[in-house]
Amino acid sequence: MTLDIFTVNEKKANRYTALCTLIAAGVAVLMWLLNVCGFFIVDQQLMNVAMPFGVALFLLPYLLVRIWKWDERLLKYAIMGCFLVGIGILNSALTIQLIMAWACPIILSCHYYSPRFTHFTLGGVLLCMLCATYVGLYCGVWDANMMRCVDMPGDAAFRAEFIREATAAGDNLLLRVFNFYYIPRAAIAIVVYLIGVTLSRRTHGLLKQQEEDNREKERIGAELNVATQIQSSMLPCTFPAFPEYEEFEIYASMNPAKEVGGDFYDFFLVDKDHLALAIADVSGKGVPAALFMMITKTLLKNEAQSGISPKKVMETVNNQLLENNEAGMFVTVWFGIYEISTGKLTAANAGHEYPALKRAGGSFELYKDKHGFVMAGMEDVVYREYTLELHAGDMLFVYTDGVSEATDGNDELYGTERMVAALNQRKDADARTLCETVREDIDRFVGEAEQFDDITMLALRVRK
């Protein structure tokens, strides 16, 4: 399921806004206490009326975040509404001290990255500021520009009479308060809004693009999972393989560095007496390598089942891979055909790693076979094949460079010497145990370092 970035951000913004209103409540309480102690000259009776309501409204968002059970999208409007009304109540009493307080809600609204919510906040600021302006005219503390007297009494009836007399004398106080008090502060709020809404729109666009990218990544991830399953199903994965044959046992494994890999192994019966073995490593990684790997595997198997020699199989497939190979990809391949009745193994190597061979009663050693050029690298390459006689107790181990070039945190390579040493730790074990021993030794060596290449191994053990 795609992560809804806007929903997650909205929840974080709600918590952040509630925290800010909690801090505002603390500041309001501090101002209240300082006024009680005589640090300010604001009428204490006025403070004792306004402060409890303002502080309560500042504390309410913190409580709402914890108990809100309704539509989550409406919570931000409830939080901001409490904040605006709380500032409005305090502003009605302390107009002089809260000149810039109205910018705070607009700034906080930008954290939601929603232009619509920023519009709502601006509208709320302008409305609550207007109400607070005229409520404060009758009840709050004003400067000389508003009432022409700093020490204007707090009685609302007296103020109303004062305003009527001033208006009758030609001084329209209500209009003057609107023109010289409300409009400049509203202009400041609008400037803050314009900056904030630009930020909201830009960030909203970035988050929307990120959300689309996440959906695309999720889609690609799902497709890669399917590709991984398809690739895994193409490789022989039922062990023990060929249980009806007592003459040999075989085991193989492939661990891709990414979701899909460019390595592959394969083994199949050409006929009742011939077993084809293949291991390969395509240049590059990921989906392109995986596609090229599947093509190579299919072509090798199709040609091998015609009964021709490994040399001919590889020469034919090499030219087939070169057709329309505009990406310039290539593949290293070790391919052999094991004759079960005689123990004769005929193989060819197209630029692949040297196999490791163990004779009965001996130890594993690298068998430096005849290397040919990589497949799909050049047209009409002639490959050389060689023959090994395998007897009871002999073992063959082939692998890709993901084994020998596994790297630890210090960029040190695992190397073939460590691989041979790991093979010889369990040299008389079965084919599966042998591969698992090497993999465990690689994991110990690599530690926490990232796997950069596919790790593929195939082991053949002759029983009799």
Q: What is the pLDDT of residues 154-201, one digit of tens each?
A: 577 888 887 888 888 888 888 888 888 889 889 989 999 998 888 888
From 2-6, 195-199, 305-309, the region with the lowest mean pLDDT: 2-6
For 4, the 3-state DSSP assignment is coil
Give the fold, CATH level 3, of 237-462.
Phosphatase 2c; domain 1 (3.60.40)
Cα-trace Rg, the chain = 40
Residue 314 has pLDDT above 60, yes or no: yes
Query: What confidence category does residue 152 fall into, taking pLDDT thresholds of 50, 70 and 90?
Result: low
- pLDDT score of 169: 85
Contacts of 97 (CB under 8 A, 6+ apart): 31, 42, 141
218: nearest Cα among 4, 455, 453, 462? 4
Query: What confidence category does residue 1 fall into, taking pLDDT thresholds of 50, 70 and 90?
Result: very low
- pLDDT score of 356: 96
β partners of residue 252: 458
pLDDT: which is higher, 155 or 279: 279
- pLDDT score of 167: 84
Residue 426 has pLDDT above 70, yes or no: yes
- pLDDT score of 154: 58
In this structure, what token pair is assigned to residue 235?
């490789």
CB 86 within 8 A of CB 54: yes
CATH 3.60.40.10 positions along the chain are 237-462
Bin 305: left if φ > 0, else alpha if -120 < ψ < 50, else beta: alpha
Give the tens place of pLDDT for each residue, 193-250: 998 888 888 887 887 887 788 788 877 777 667 766 766 677 888 899 999 999 999 9
Indicate the residue type of 359.
Answer: R
Give the tens place of pLDDT for each residue, 366-421: 999 988 999 999 999 999 999 999 999 999 999 999 999 999 988 899 999 999 99
In this structure, what token pair is assigned to residue 107?
């700034």
Residues in the chain, overall count: 464
Percentage of the chain lying above the pLDDT 70 cut: 94
Query: What confidence category does residue 303 fall into, taking pLDDT thresholds of 50, 70 and 90?
Result: very high
What's the predicted TM-score (pTM) here? 0.60
Pairing label, strands 365-366, 395-399: unpaired
d(CA 232, CA 228): 6
Q: State the DSSP string of 92-132.
A: HHBTTTTSSTTHHHHHHHGGGT-HHHHHHHHHHHHHHHHHH
For tokens 């594993």, the residue is 364
- pLDDT score of 3: 47
d(CA 362, CA 379): 40
Query: What confidence category does residue 317 fall into, taking pLDDT thresholds of 50, 70 and 90?
Result: very high
Give the tens place of pLDDT for each residue, 87-113: 999 988 877 667 788 999 999 998 888
Percentage of the chain lying above the pLDDT 90 cut: 54
In this structure, what token pair is assigned to residue 371?
């290397």
CA distances in angstroms from 122 to 80, 102, 110, 113, 115, listed in the order given: 11, 9, 11, 14, 11
